[in-house]
Structure 1
Amino acid sequence: MREGTSKLLAACEHQNQSLEAAKSLLTSDLRLAEFKSELQRRKISLSSTSTSSRTTKNKSNEPLFKAKASVSNIRIPLIWKDTDYFKNRGDHRRFAVFCVLKIGTEIFDTIMVNVDRNFTDICFDDTFHFNNVTPDFNFELLIYSRVLHDDLSMASTHKKLTHKISNSLSRSFGRKMINLKDDFNNETGPKFYLIARASLNLKDSADLIKTYDLIPEEELDKNLQLPLFGHYCCRLAVQPECLLKDYHSDILRMHSPESDMFWAVLSKFRLNLWRIKTELQDEPAYLKHTNSKKEPDLIIPINCQSKVTLSERNIQLVNKENVFVFESINGQQSEWIKCFQKVRQDFQAWEPIAEYNMQLAPLSHHRSQYFFYERPSGSLYNETPLQDYDFLRKKHSKSFSYANKTNGTSQLYSLSSRPILD
């Protein structure tokens, strides 16, 4: 792919074509470098695993559930001088700008935007999805830019002379003079410069658009630097797979005065219990269809503080000050203990978002190529919330109530969802 892009770049005659080809070539080089680094890391990991397996043959750790991530609503504010923006004079530079988004070996690029002094911010409507995201992921945003037109720099003098001479002479000779632009730069095609970067992790994920810091490249020539404000906005959503799958399900009998039997489902970092009257071989019919699902009669949150022990045929679950003792009707005590430990392990890994199921942004199916940017109707500053995201998330946190029908008492369990009414 890289060789084909290089040949295409050499054959391009129009500026838009050469810019797109140079952008594709740069992205291919980044992917190739990341694949080489990942291959080297896997070789080192494989050698260390084979060495350590000799001493820990009996020890087996379950792999953590991975996640999907989406990045959307990318906006980069600019800071022009008042004479440039309001009086339309001063800085005549025009830039071609695009971003590269990277998590591990998955690398995506945005569309390319034409930016000048008439724009207060750059918006990218693309939505990107990343798969197989680990809890310790590192999301990188790289901003690349190229000056398309510069009336303030003396370095552009030879370009002006070349165009003037080519216009005054014949077309064949004029084309040769235009090609002299590459000889001055000793480059094959246009070159994009990395002007700023940013890095995010799991703690930065949110269900709404947030503002983050940009780190500009200090060694870049000022004539090539886009007037960045120093911050950018985006929405980074992360959805762990453990919130979408069930760990285990079976019939459990609770050791209580009533000795109730429950159909138990361990999922979404909680143990959901539906009261049943007789033993079942399969999931109750009223739970198989999502639209007609009955709400659980009892919900027990599972987190890092939850303790699970096995005593003969009994499963003892300690959650804060509450103690629950269950018996597996089908003799799956060891399987339950294994799944409970797996839930605690996954909760610890995804703890910042374990109790909050974020929705991924819809994937963009249609992408236009190089185009002239159109200003959106809304304002970036009016759309940025002033309240902290942690404060907004606490507003969704409510309690589950389990009512004991015999004595009329109820037990409360904190979980980020709406309350269940018995």
Structure 2
Amino acid sequence: QEKMNFEIRIREGICKLLTVSTQKDQLLQAVKNLMVCNARIRAYRAELQNQREEPVSYIRIPLMWKGSEHFNNKEKSQRYAVFCLFRMGAEVFDTEVAIVDKAITDICFENVTIFDEAGPDFQVKVEVYSCCTEESLYIANTPKKLVKKLKTSLSKATGKKLKATLQEDDTDSILLSDPIIHGAKYSLLAYTTLGLESAEDGFRTHNLTITGNEESSFWLPLYGNMCCRLVAQPSCMARDMMAGFLNQQIGNVTGWRRLYCVLRGGKLFCYYSPEEIEAKVEPALTVSINKDTRIRSVDKDSKKRTNNFSVTNPVSGEAATQLFATDSREELHKWMEAFWQHFYDLSQWKHCCEELMKIEIMSPRKPPLFLTKEATSVYHDMSKWDLSFQVAG
């Protein structure tokens, strides 16, 4: 609710700015910000009604101009303002506005966005919006006296609208219609949705659903796909899910050693002390904890130790078993619950738990192709593109 109220206040400020804006760039940015505010308000309202927990984005989208348009274009071409929205549950993020003309071969966004607290059923919706910047501004070509009157009228009308909006908020109704701003209308150009099946540590090509056609004012010639790197980083792979001292049996029944053990990323890492972890010392023992592992409590072992459990993994067709003991029955229950939860998390996140996917904060730059060769055959060799989109949680 606090986030929604904040966006409503931001929206009020943007609407006031729109009534006095005459510069094209300022107008385009303001209308884009207004759309983002509206998207967030809608998402927050939905979140309040149905609380759900839902994952960084770098994106480059190739364009497919005709040869006569791109290579032989001597006249000033139309320019387009483009930005992306990323949605997941109640979280909505945006990119900066990119200005595109026929000299541009791909649309690049350098933003890095991280969605936190995602579940294995996450859905990231990517929406690409565009606006032709060559449409004339009505206000820009209007006499100064009429401009002043228009500004006053718009200000009063917008103020009344906003006042009505805030009053209606008490009845759980928010006015989200955008004010009509001539010369700055963004339209949905393309979109796609990415989920767990799209996540891997390498790049893949994903289809875009394109809206509109060549007759649309916001139309840009997209390939119809984008090459993406979707990174999912489950908590069980990146964080310690359980940690504490365990006693491990060595040699024979009477031989035990005390180890500080950490359950993380499908492994049980065993150290002689917690300080070894900070010092980045190699663990004394590493035991696999995966779908092939069998863990069971052992009640009838040693008279001195009744809080035992065994960890069995298949090794070269045989079973390798490690025996551990906790200091109390309560500790045994905690460890067993942590193991079962870990098994469940691994099964839900599937291939994302095979190894830790790293989140790259810095986005990859354009490949050398664009720096060393003329763009004469770039559309005929998609393997040369280094396009990326990264999502992580």
Q: Give the aligned partner of residue 212 of structure 1.
A: 206
SS in 2 for 1:127: coil
Q: Give the aligned partner of residue 270 of structure 2.
A: 273
Shift of 1:137: 0.8
Shift of 1:20: 0.7
Q: Give the aligned partner of residue 361 of structure 1.
A: 360
CA distance in 2, matches of 1:160, 1:111: 22
1:188 equivalent in alignment to 2:173: no
CA distance in 2, matches of 1:319, 1:234: 36
CA distance in 2, matches of 1:234, 1:298: 38
CA contact (8 A) 2:43 2:89 kept: yes
Q: 1:31 aligns with which of 40, 51, 62?
A: 40
Q: Give the aligned partner of residue 5 of structure 2.
A: none
Q: Give the aligned partner of residue 85 of structure 2.
A: 100
Shift of 1:226: 1.1
Shift of 1:329: 4.6
User: What pairs up with 1:187-336 in 2 under 5 angstroms?
Assistant: 187-189=180-182, 190-218=184-212, 221-246=215-240, 247-254=242-249, 257=252, 259-263=255-259, 264-274=261-271, 283=273, 285=275, 287-291=276-280, 293=281, 295-312=282-299, 313=306, 314-320=308-314, 321-331=318-328, 332-336=331-335
1:141 equivalent in alignment to 2:126: yes
Letter in 2 for 1:172: K
SS in 2 for 1:203: helix
SS in 2 for 1:304: coil
Q: Give the aligned partner of residue 55 of structure 1.
A: none
Higher relative contact order (CA 8 A, sep 6+): 2
Q: How far does the alpha carbon of each residue in 1:227-278 deviate from its partner, in whole angstroms, 9 at most, with x for none?
A: 111112333222222223221222222365374425133222111234x6xx
CA distance in 2, matches of 1:16, 1:162: 14
Shift of 1:78: 0.6
- The runs of at least 4 consecutive aligned structure 1 residues that moved more than 6 Å come to 160-163, 176-179
CA distance in 1, matches of 2:324, 2:68: 76
CA distance in 2, matches of 1:212, 1:329: 49
Which deviates more from structure 2 when the two are superposed, residues 8-17 or residues 186-195?
186-195
CA contact (8 A) 1:5 1:24 kept: yes
Shift of 1:317: 2.3
Unaligned runs of 5+ in 2: 1-9, 155-178, 300-305, 364-368, 388-393
Letter in 2 for 1:239: Q
CA distance in 1, matches of 2:313, 2:214: 56
Aligned CA distance change for structure 1 residues 257 and 233 (closer, same or farther; 3 Å): same
Shift of 1:175: 5.2
SS in 2 for 1:11: coil
CA contact (8 A) 1:94 1:115 kept: yes
CA distance in 2, matches of 1:244, 1:353: 11
CA distance in 2, matches of 1:327, 1:175: 81
Shift of 1:210: 3.3
Unaligned runs of 5+ in 1: 46-65, 150-155, 277-282, 365-374, 387-422
Q: 1:16 aligns with which of 12, 17, 25?
A: 25
Shift of 1:383: 5.1
User: What pairs up with 1:58-207 in 2 under 5 angstroms?
Assistant: 69-72=55-58, 74-88=59-73, 92-149=77-134, 159=136, 172=144, 187-189=180-182, 190-207=184-201
Shift of 1:35: 1.0
CA distance in 2, matches of 1:341, 1:221: 57
Aligned CA distance change for structure 1 residues 357 and 245 (closer, same or farther; 3 Å): same
CA distance in 2, matches of 1:216, 1:345: 38
Shift of 1:107: 1.2
Aligned CA distance change for structure 1 residues 109 and 122 (closer, same or farther; 3 Å): same
CA contact (8 A) 2:265 2:355 kept: no
Identity rate of aligned residues, in percent?
A: 27
CA distance in 2, matches of 1:315, 1:134: 30
Shift of 1:299: 2.1
Shift of 1:24: 0.5
Q: Could you tell me the TM-score, scaled by structure 2's length?
A: 0.72
Q: Give the aligned partner of residue 343 of structure 2.
A: 344
CA distance in 2, matches of 1:162, 1:296: 70
Q: Give the aligned partner of residue 165 of structure 2.
A: none
CA distance in 2, matches of 1:324, 1:223: 68
Which deviates more from structure 2 when the two are superposed, residues 207-216 or residues 346-355?
207-216
CA contact (8 A) 1:93 1:147 kept: yes
Shift of 1:98: 0.7
SS in 2 for 1:27: helix
CA contact (8 A) 2:326 2:332 kept: no
CA contact (8 A) 1:129 1:363 kept: no
CA contact (8 A) 2:131 2:217 kept: no
Letter in 1 for 2:197: K
> As a proportion of its length, which structure holds more strand?
1
CA distance in 2, matches of 1:239, 1:140: 18
Q: Could you tell me the TM-score, scaled by structure 1's length?
A: 0.67
Aligned CA distance change for structure 1 residues 329 and 134 (closer, same or farther; 3 Å): closer
